[in-house]
Structure 1
Amino acid sequence: MASLRKAVAAIVLAHVAPVVYSQTLVIDNTTVSANESTVAPAAASVDAGITNSTADLFEGETLQLTEAVLANLTDLELSNVTLFSFQNESDLAQNLSKRSLSGLCKTYPDDPYWPFPSTWGLFNVLLGGGLIQTVPYAASCYDSFGNRNTSKCDFITNNWINASIYHTEDPTSVNAVLFQGATCMPPAFVPSKSGCTVGGYPTYSVSVRNVAQIQLAVNFARNLNLRLVIKNTGHDFSAKSVGMGALSLWTHNLKDIRFFKNYRQGRYNGPAFKLGVGVQAFEAYEAARKNNVTIVGGEGRTVGVMGGYLLGGGHSPLSSLYGMAADQVLSMEVVLADGRFVTASETSYPDLFWALRGGGGSTFGIVTSVVIKAYPKIKVTTMTYVLATGPTVTSVQFWAALRAFFDGFITYTDAGNYEYFRIMKVGNDQYSSDMGPWFAPGMSKSQLEALVTPLFSRFKELGVEVNPVYTEYDDFYDAWHASFPVEPWGSNAIRQASRLFPKSNWQDAAKLNATFDVIKNVVEEGAYVVAFNIAAAPKTGYPDNAVNPAWRDTVMHAIMVSTWDTTKTDRDIKAASDRLTFGWMQRWRDVSPGAGAYMSEADYIEPDFTQAFFGSKYPRLYQIKQRYDPFGVFYAHTAVGSEDWKMSEMILGNLPSQNNQFGFSYQHEGHA
């Protein structure tokens, strides 16, 4: 690694054809290719001991951009090297206004200040060949990018909705394609479309392998006023990982995992993991099983658990026992908007550490790894059943049985349980609700049976019979893997919204009646509901962090879904979309005033999102945002500080489009 300190001794740029470069570097007089399999040329190996890190840095974290590296590049007289320099407080504000047509918008491809091809070429060389020009995932279905391939298109089409694992392996594909513009979906989903365009996907992505690449990209985007987005896996209802004309940082490949059997930090003494931000749920849980421990993560298999999931709070099948995923964090490594790489912990950048744990992704910095608590191995019992109308169950009986289940929500979460269930209309006055699963961590089969005996006794009194299936597992991983299949992905005919219903609604008979009625009513009108009986205020307590206070009071997180036929008119589709936000969801808000919603699974145009997603913590979060990112280098829809910007175009008249020419204009007074 020592020789890497001389990695920037020489970088040769040989211009061939319009935008093709021969990329080489010299390390200790040996010439090697500068590509994604080599270390980024603009990096130096930094001794982990000189940082405030609470755990040894991963190898990719020791490769950093430094002032010394920048000085070496300047000595080589490479053009435009200043574009990669760290933030200079004295001239940034002055220069920012000169780097777009109006001085108020981000710099986009049609702007004269957009980087020349030669500048992108230099950027790619400094990255070590990590720059990717976007070709949408479904481009093989069209002639637009010259890569049409029928067999590949058939595979993508067959796996578009039900195989998120393939989308997460693509640099730009995201779940929320509606807000991207749905500009390149397989023809089977958009039969009227004749071509494929980049649309709201970023123009370029950086396939991140080390910290230096992130720093180069952050500095480049900040100094040129480019829109910068971050994609880990692309799981988010609000399309935070896309943006027309943006530069994207694809952190999916930061997958280092290190286990500490005995980890000491502050008041914590016990097992812990250090996980790269690209580690997905299935990888994290496999590592925990291998080391005979349990960690808190989500139910979705392909979600990047150390990315936006954790940064947004992160609810879990274990939340009723251990709290939110953000509650488990001991420290984080993060690249800030000024390009510096720091450790955030209780003793280092404590305000940033507070904000990162629940304040949302793509907001305060780019996290590269997280140290989290681990717990002893835990047994789990699951139970599934289907409650449905039919020959012997009327709709009146169905709703009465479902209400009996609702009545026990506080009891179940007090026992540490988590129920994941769905409610849907399946025909005229016909309904179904499948429990899949009832998740009881720490319980044996007999203990769970005892807990639910009063419920099933009540079912029988109502004349309703279900056939519960119990399964007892020795380890969390086995229960999780058997219970939660790969999640669906990428429909352009769907919108979702959610609400965190407070415990107080269950402690007052009138409020519970009203709550159940609005759930029932929207299902009767065609909404599909996915819900979780969950509480995130464990008896053992939880840390002071930025997690939405509504999570600490909730006993039900409920998601509603509105769908439509894409062959309908825009007017009909808008009506279905508006009904979600202003009709059905408003009823839910009305019965839970002052509560909130989970930012990662929420209404794209949630009214008063600052209150709904952050509650009383928003003023402090906004102050921290301005302290660490006063010029809006990090922007994401409905993130902290996003209200200072305005998108220029809308979908269906009121859905901010991530596919628009002029981007968003800075509205915050004093920073125009």
Structure 2
Amino acid sequence: MMISYSRSATVAAALLLTVIHIVCAQTILLNNSTVPANESTIAPAVDNVSAQASNSTADLFHGETQQLTDAVLANLTDLELSNVTLFSFQNDSDPAGNLSARSSSFGRCKTYPGDFLWPSDLLWKLFDILLGKALIKTVPYASSCYDSFGDYDKDRCEFITANWINASIYHTEDPTSVNAVLFQGATCMPPGLAASSTGCTLGGYPTYAVAVRNVAQVQLAVNLARNLNLRLVIKNTGHDFGAKSVGMGALSIWTHNLKDIRFFSHYRQDSYSGPAFKLGTGVQGFEAYEAARQNNVTLVGGEGRTVGVMGGYILGGGHSPLSSLYGMGTDQVLSMEVVTADGRFITANRNSNPDLFWALRGGGGSTFGVVTSIVVKAHPKIKVTTLTYAFETGPKVTPEQFWAALRAYFDGFITYTDAGNYEYFRISKGLDGGFKTDMGPWFAPGMSKAELKALVAPLFNKFKALGIEIQPIYKEYDDYYGAWFESFPVEPWGSDTIRQGSRLFPRSNWQDSAKLNATFDAIKSIVEEGAYVLAFNVAASPKAGFPDNAVNPAWRETVLHAIIAQLWDMKATEADIKAASDKLTFDWLQRWRDVSPGAGAYMSESDYIEPNYTQAFYGTKYPRLYQLKQRYDRHGVFYAHSAVGSEDWQMSEMILGNLPSQNSKLCRL
């Protein structure tokens, strides 16, 4: 039986019959043998492919050798059926290969619960059997605080409530919990932590998630989603400003359990020769850094402990405390293993699928495929010195002194990044109207305490001349891990009373006094109006150079990546919340755009409704990225908000009038 997309009603009936036959059959033909049709016999029906991939220089992980193949699909039948069509690979000769024919069958929107082609309970059961019982029906993380899902538990609710904001380690272990709860709809948050806690519903969370541990499971999910036009999302840990890992009625591929790590002391590929790691995309920052420490090397990753460092972080570019020395996280990538939209498992590197390899390195996650593992360069063990200090207005420090001292710090940004440094600092306005800033930390890889002291001495002399007394704290470490672990605590989790946005400010703004004055004033003015600014003095254009990849060109010119947080009271009216939200996008961030024309923003920490996001997030790389999106995923199997190709789709509902709600239907324009 083959799918014909021109006769959707006939197809649906045939598909349902197929499901009933398979589920109800007493036996199936498996690997040319007739065996009982049950969970123990169907689930292992995957080919164990050789660990040495034909186009990869690193052996496949065990889970990557477990693949869905045409031979497997041919065997997954009972004695009456020729194949399992719903899970078949994309057939380019089929009428489904024609977008207009596909659209006439499915309509403009993805398939949702209640739609004619939405999978029946029998189909979900079959899918779960084929997956090896890896299918999870979504129950929101905070459901135990309510009666809605039948799992009310007072003690668990109290634990979740106490650890909701400041313990991301718990959220990342949940199949569907995400940071961007506002855009999900905030439909199931602990009472007292949300603007409106009237109950618990699924909202924008996916309907089902697949806890993948092998490639076959990824392929089955991709094929089912494509063949039935289901919305498909990918979640690793859920650290996500842009709600890319959620979607009402979606099927989610949860990559968190892809934890394999393999170290190569001598890895050779193309012109690279040196230490390297192959890491599953579920590996988190703390796990990657621990592995590097154990092998006396250094990995380039983010500051977040629980972020999936080989997932959306590295696919979106990935800035790092080591970026001023080594570039972006994705600059370290040597090879990738990926399941593409047609369901096939391939290797992407400079010699195999080089265009896809180019796009995956910085073109964004949830866009071109599901990456299962990545090979990255490792660098030599490196010493690090950190510095922390803080100052604020008060009896001995006027606002004028405060801003003059902060400006003295800004003046040195090029000097500091040229020295390979990275500074992570905050600026805010207190309830008393005063201002404060803290450096937490100044991160100096490769420097001793004496060398860092010498670097900052001119700055601290300026502080002293301005009447600013600080108590700097220096710490010297013999490796990256110790400095990173003590400097960056577990990151906070989602709230529905905050919106954020960012801007990449170019080096050229520091090479022109008028531009620097305007830049500093644009930052100062919004803090004076109540904005919370978190910023990074960081560059991503190392002296040793960087590869040609899809990283936003604005990163190569940057010396300041700054984030604005706009917060509002939990009891604020909808009108007040909309005013605060609009002020972030159309006033505060616009001031930053005005002083950095042609620059950009970091897609992973950006304004949810960044105007002209194709330029801001991708710059001159966007036309090629869009072209590759059409080549590798012309049906839009993979969609994420503000990702490449997302302009071809829209959500059916808005939050506050202009924020696309992930708790609504996704439809093609």
CA contact (8 A) 1:14 1:21 kept: no
The residue that corresponds to 2:335 in the other structure is 331
Which one of 507, 511, 515 corresponds to residue 507 of structure 1? 511
The residue that corresponds to 1:172 in the other structure is 176
The residue that corresponds to 1:537 in the other structure is 541
Are positions 1:34 and 2:36 aligned together?
no
AA paired with 1:597? A
Which one of 45, 54, 57 corresponds to residue 60 of structure 2? 57
Deviates more, 1:559-568 or 1:145-154: 559-568
CA contact (8 A) 2:444 2:452 kept: yes
The residue that corresponds to 1:205 in the other structure is 209
Q: 1:416 to 1:430 in 2, by over 3 A?
A: same
Mapped to 2, the partners of 1:191 and 1:576 lie a distance apart of 14
Which one of 300, 304, 324 corresponds to residue 300 of structure 1? 304
AA paired with 1:350? P
Deviation, 1:647, is: 1.1
CA contact (8 A) 1:354 1:546 kept: yes
Deviation, 1:34, is: 3.4
The residue that corresponds to 1:8 in the other structure is none
Deviation, 1:96, is: 8.0
Q: 1:20 to 1:184 in 2, by over 3 A?
A: farther
Runs of 5+ unmatched residues, structure 1:
1-12, 668-672
Q: 1:46 to 1:651 in 2, by over 3 A?
A: same
Mapped to 2, the partners of 1:462 and 1:605 lie a distance apart of 40
The residue that corresponds to 2:420 in the other structure is 416
Q: 1:143 to 1:324 in 2, by over 3 A?
A: same
AA paired with 1:66? T
Mapped to 2, the partners of 1:101 and 1:84 lie a distance apart of 18
Correspondences of 1:451-530 after superposition (within 5 Å) = 451-530=455-534
The residue that corresponds to 1:6 in the other structure is none
Give the alignment's TM-score, normalised by structure 1.
0.93
The residue that corresponds to 1:317 in the other structure is 321
AA paired with 1:325? G
Deviation, 1:373, is: 0.1
Mapped to 2, the partners of 1:634 and 1:14 lie a distance apart of 25
> RMSD of the TM alignment (CA)?
2.3
The residue that corresponds to 2:50 in the other structure is 47
Are positions 1:114 and 2:101 aligned together?
no
Mapped to 2, the partners of 1:629 and 1:283 lie a distance apart of 32
Q: How many residues align?
A: 649
For the residue of structure 2 that corresponds to 1:359, the secondary structure is coil
Which one of 384, 388, 402 corresponds to residue 388 of structure 2? 384
AA paired with 1:398? F
The residue that corresponds to 1:85 in the other structure is 88
Deviation, 1:33, is: 7.4
For the residue of structure 2 that corresponds to 1:321, the secondary structure is helix
Quote the sequence identity (%): 73
The residue that corresponds to 2:8 in the other structure is none
Are positions 1:657 and 2:661 aligned together?
yes
AA paired with 1:455? L
The residue that corresponds to 1:263 in the other structure is 267
Are positions 1:139 and 2:149 aligned together?
no
Which one of 273, 278, 284 corresponds to residue 280 of structure 1? 284
Q: 1:485 to 1:135 in 2, by over 3 A?
A: same
Mapped to 1, the partners of 2:42 and 2:433 lie a distance apart of 62
Mapped to 1, the partners of 2:497 and 2:486 lie a distance apart of 29
Mapped to 1, the partners of 2:64 and 2:54 lie a distance apart of 11
The residue that corresponds to 2:221 in the other structure is 217
Offset from partner CA, 1:555-597 (integer Å, 9 cap, x none): 0000000011131111110000000000100000000000000
AA paired with 2:563? I
Mapped to 2, the partners of 1:331 and 1:522 lie a distance apart of 42
Deviation, 1:391, is: 1.6
The residue that corresponds to 1:355 in the other structure is 359
CA contact (8 A) 1:566 1:573 kept: no
Mapped to 2, the partners of 1:422 and 1:289 lie a distance apart of 29
The residue that corresponds to 1:617 in the other structure is 621
Offset from partner CA, 1:475-517 (integer Å, 9 cap, x none): 1000000000000111000000000000000000000000000
CA contact (8 A) 1:331 1:343 kept: yes
CA contact (8 A) 1:499 1:557 kept: yes
The residue that corresponds to 2:11 in the other structure is none
For the residue of structure 1 that corresponds to 2:618, the secondary structure is helix
The residue that corresponds to 2:14 in the other structure is none
Q: 1:234 to 1:80 in 2, by over 3 A?
A: farther
AA paired with 1:34? E
For the residue of structure 2 that corresponds to 1:74, the secondary structure is coil
Give the alignment's TM-score, normalised by structure 2.
0.94
Are positions 1:70 and 2:83 aligned together?
no
The residue that corresponds to 2:668 in the other structure is 666
Q: 1:525 to 1:80 in 2, by over 3 A?
A: farther
CA contact (8 A) 2:209 2:254 kept: yes
AA paired with 1:65? L
Offset from partner CA, 1:14-53 (integer Å, 9 cap, x none): 99xxx99999998999989737xx9943411011335312
AA paired with 1:379? K
Mapped to 2, the partners of 1:25 and 1:382 lie a distance apart of 63
Mapped to 2, the partners of 1:159 and 1:264 lie a distance apart of 44
Deviation, 1:139, is: 0.3
Correspondences of 1:147-162 after superposition (within 5 Å) = 147-162=151-166
Q: 1:30 to 1:644 in 2, by over 3 A?
A: closer
CA contact (8 A) 2:146 2:199 kept: yes
For the residue of structure 2 that corresponds to 1:49, the secondary structure is coil
AA paired with 2:628? I
For the residue of structure 1 that corresponds to 2:253, the secondary structure is strand
AA paired with 1:593? P
CA contact (8 A) 2:26 2:36 kept: no
AA paired with 2:630? Q
CA contact (8 A) 2:316 2:603 kept: yes
CA contact (8 A) 2:111 2:117 kept: yes
Which one of 623, 630, 635 corresponds to residue 626 of structure 1? 630
Deviates more, 1:413-422 or 1:83-92: 83-92
The residue that corresponds to 2:651 in the other structure is 647
Deviation, 1:186, is: 0.4
Q: 1:75 to 1:592 in 2, by over 3 A?
A: same
Mapped to 1, the partners of 2:346 and 2:102 lie a distance apart of 30
Runs of 5+ unmatched residues, structure 2:
1-17
CA contact (8 A) 1:239 1:637 kept: yes
CA contact (8 A) 2:363 2:625 kept: yes
AA paired with 2:88? S
For the residue of structure 2 that corresponds to 1:535, the secondary structure is coil
The residue that corresponds to 1:3 in the other structure is none
